[in-house]
Chains A and B, each alone.
Chain A
Amino acid sequence: MPARYLHPMNKALILMSALTAAALPGWAALGGSVETVASDQVRMQAKRAVTQMREYNIHLISRDDGTLIKEYVTPEGKVFGISWTGPTIPDLTQLLGTYNAEFQTSVRAQPRRRRAGVVRNPDLVVESTGHMRAFYGRAYVNSMLPSGVTAEIVK
């Protein structure tokens, strides 16, 4: 839960809101702008809540099937990190956006082996793991981390 990472002084900044998907823009892809409207959000019938931290915001997106996606957004509105849990793997082509090609290429460059999808390139980090009914993972872009923020907060 986001509160786990809160410094006490930031608690006053929290703003929680849960709205239906139809009334909101969708979530953005990694590296993209939070204003980006995802074409299939309405279909996914997701709900969204926003937690404002001092150095970034967390957009918590939940779906009826138990999928939970967190998007970590800079004050400038750029998505620098994403995490997910759920019974199935969320659509990473959408969540990783322009970084999906690099993720796919890096994963395929590893020898064929049933395993977690772990890519740790200099800038892009993706960790996708789990099994049917319990998938989880995260992705972030090192160069986009807000000043004073470490990658550990993306979880």
Chain B
Amino acid sequence: MRRASLAAAVAALVMVTLVGCGGGSAPATTTPTPVSNTQQIVVDLGPDLNGQKVGADNSLYTNVQICLPGTSTCQTIDHVLVDTGSSGLRLLSTSVGLPLSYIVDANNNGIGNCIQFPDTSFQWGPMAKVDVHMAGEVSTVPIQIVSPSNFNGPPTACSAGGVPANTPSSLGANGILGVGLFRQDCGAACASSAPPNVYFSCPASGCTTTTVALTAQLQNPVWMFPQDNNGLSIKLPAIGATGATTVVGTITFGIGTQTNNALGSAQAQAATARGTFTTTFGGVAYTNSFIDSALGAFYFLDSATTGLPNCAANGDAAGLYCAPSPVSLTAITSGPNPSSSGTIVSQNIAFSVWNALTLIDSGNPAFNNIGGPNPGAFAWGLPFFYGRTVFIGIEGQTTPAGTGPYWAY
């Protein structure tokens, strides 16, 4: 792997110190005094495993501190992937050193949680309640512990023939911080019926699917904060066409709750109850589109529709687009104004796609012009975030722009 060799060479240059929690200056104007609501985020070469950086391209990371509930027994975990496409904190068991107790159901059986990704990878494990600290914020929420040795293995409905993302190298991170549009990972679908592959009751004899009440599901830690809990924003600087070695930005909790998190000129577009919205390209409306910071590229449509050539199927850039020269494109995102008016709000999104193989082989981890196929829709991955402040209005939460779920940028 070219990445591996480069990683060692530049390791000393990318020792970015992240702000785990607390800190910052508190403006002392009114009571109650606002807490610090900003924390550093970074795109770099990823977590260190035996001296080697094992991240994937365009991975956005932050630090998360977890504590035994109500105590100062804590640890800070670095390189947790910031994911706007899911909700809930998931930490690799190998990254967790605290003596956590797993959550059990009414029959004293551990509750297993599963998340599957379209690339056939999955995460499986029990849940534990912890205090999650980010910036000056704290919430007490159930999180997922991925693949601990002292819990049932994944049910076949969860593994489904795929591969577990349960190590720093297979995940490219030490965990996933799901701070998406929703309060819970699954929501009403798992409270009223039991989908075959999300929640399980796990006696030693084996796991079976179960319903889980909303309050007991994996929670987006942001909406459980006592304040600054109606949403968040992710701000990354613009980068050049050849990528960047390290990109440092800011995650800010709350929307319009403090002087530093006003919407400003950002325009809000409501998402559907499924978290999707419409992206129009070439005159065609693609209604299943979404924004997902955990995706490393602009994943959209296919080669036949876009005219962008696919990269070689057996190379470093397999599954991406390899345009011989930068191609400038424009799409239109749209959705109802989340305020009561409901008027459709549309924005032109200009973006560029270049040769993914050239970019990846440069050794940089951060690119704003890497693309790949996602037939039938736009999946706006991390490149969308460069040069923007993207607000996420959480479902059911009130903000100055209306009630979530919505995106604003």
Q: Is A75 an interface residue (CB 8 A)?
A: no
Given A91-B157, A91-B160, also A132-B115 (CB < 8 A): yes
Residue picked from A113, A114, A132, A133, most chain B C-beta under 10 Å: A114
Q: How far is the CB of B361 from chain A (nearest CB, A)?
A: 12
> What is the 8 Å Cβ interface bit string for chain A, positions 131-149, against chain B (1 contact, 0 not)?
1111111100000000000
Instruction: Choose the segment among B32-40, B99-107, B146-154, B186-194 that binds chain A (4+ C-beta atoms closer than 8 Å).
Output: B186-194
Q: Is B182 an interface residue (CB 8 A)?
A: yes
Q: Is the CB of A137 within 8 A of B172?
A: no
> What is the 8 Å Cβ interface bit string for chain B, positions 69-103, against chain A (1 contact, 0 not)?
00000000000000001110000000000000000
Q: Is the CB of B319 within 8 A of A111?
A: yes
List residues of A (86-107) whose CB comes within 8 Å of B's CBs.
Answer: 87-89, 91-93, 100, 103-104, 107
Q: How far is the CB of A136 from chain B (nearest CB, A)?
A: 6
With a CB–CB cut-off of 8 A, which chain A residues contact B316?
Answer: 111
Q: Is the CB of A115 within 8 A of B319?
A: yes
In the complex, how many residue pairs between chain A and chain B have their CB atoms under 8 Å apart? 147
With a CB–CB cut-off of 8 A, which chain B residues contact A1?
Answer: none
Which size bracket describes the interface of B in this complex? 35 or more
Q: How far is the CB of B408 from chain A (nearest CB, A)?
A: 19
Residues of A bordering B, CB below 8 Å: 40, 43-45, 64-67, 85, 87-89, 91-93, 100, 103-104, 107-118, 127-138, 155
With a CB–CB cut-off of 8 A, which chain A residues contact B383?
Answer: none
Q: How far is the CB of B21 from chain A (nearest CB, A)?
A: 26
Given A92-B161, A114-B56, A115-B119, also A155-B197 (CB < 8 A): no
> What is the 8 Å Cβ interface bit string for chain B, positions 321-360, against chain A (1 contact, 0 not)?
0000000000000000000000000000000000000000
B interface secondary structure, majority: loop
Q: Is B249 an interface residue (CB 8 A)?
A: no
Inter-chain CA distance A32–B202, complex, in Å, is: 33
Q: Is the CB of B276 within 8 A of A134?
A: yes
Q: Is B297 an interface residue (CB 8 A)?
A: yes
Residues of B bordering A, CB below 8 Å: 56-57, 85-87, 115-121, 156-157, 160-163, 170, 172, 178, 180, 182, 185-187, 189, 192-198, 272-276, 288, 290, 292, 294-297, 299, 314, 316-319, 372-377, 379
With a CB–CB cut-off of 8 A, which chain B residues contact A134?
Answer: 272, 274-276, 288, 290
Given A87-B189, A133-B182, A134-B275, also A116-B160 (CB < 8 A): no
Given contacts A67-B195, A111-B318, A118-B375, 11 further A-B contacts (CB under 8 A): A89-B118, A89-B160, A107-B120, A109-B318, A114-B117, A116-B372, A132-B115, A132-B275, A134-B275, A134-B290, A136-B376
Given A66-B189, A132-B85, also A91-B197 (CB < 8 A): yes
Q: Is the CB of A129 within 8 A of B189?
A: no
With a CB–CB cut-off of 8 A, which chain A residues contact B116?
Answer: 88-89
Partner of A113, one of B163, B178, B319: B319
Residue picked from A40, A43, A115, A134, most chain B C-beta under 10 Å: A115
Residue picked from B87, B117, B194, B317, most chain A C-beta under 10 Å: B117
5 pairs from A and B in contact (CB 8 Å cutoff): A44-B196, A65-B193, A65-B194, A65-B195, A88-B198
